[in-house]
Structure 1
Amino acid sequence: MELKIAKTDLQNKKNEAKISIDEVLRQYKEENRHIFYFDGQNTHKDMQKAQNTIQKAGYRVQLNEVRYGLDEHNYIYEIHII
């Protein structure tokens, strides 16, 4: 499963980088990275699948929606692996 990574620049419309769950786990283990941000265009169902996949790998996971504006569509997903 591949998920879209959150954009780092709101002006850049081309940034559609993707990352797999295996790559997320690799970065967690090797680079000691605990927090990952994903684009709001990912479906909530896909984010829950990602959360369950990481939990099945033996990790605790917190999934959040992070709002960055007043519009209801201005949000990204945050996955925090503990």
Structure 2
Amino acid sequence: MDLKFARTELDAKPKKADIKKIEESVEKNGSVIFYFDRENSHKDLLELQDYFEEKGKGFYMNEVKFGLSDNEYMYQVHIID
């Protein structure tokens, strides 16, 4: 599963998301919100959902638009311990 965090600049490349760091952050904080880039496939995000739901975590995902264009969006993922 190759996930990418949301870009901080429009012309920047997205940074890669490491599942172990995501899991550590959830364990440490209990409830975390991540923003993932539009380049991620919906299938990969659903695999991420399955991964955390199997561990008994709550998982909520939304598509967040930040502009008028169809390709100006990101995924908001809220993982709850």
Decide: shared fold, TM above 0.5.
yes
Paired residue total? 79
Unaligned runs of 5+ in 2: none
Match of 1:54 in 2: 52
Measure the CA separation in 1 of the matches of 2:32 and 2:7.
18
**Per-residue CA distance 1:43-67 (angstroms, 9 max, x = gap):** 1111111111111111010011111
**Per-residue CA distance 1:25-77 (angstroms, 9 max, x = gap):** 111112x1510000001011111111111111110100111110111111101
Query: Percent identity over the alignment?
Result: 38
Match of 2:8 in 1: 8
TM-score (norm 2): 0.86
Q: Which runs of 4+ in 1 moved over 2 A?
A: none
What value does the CA root-mean-square deviation take over the aligned residues? 1.4
Match of 2:43 in 1: 45
Match of 1:79 in 2: 77
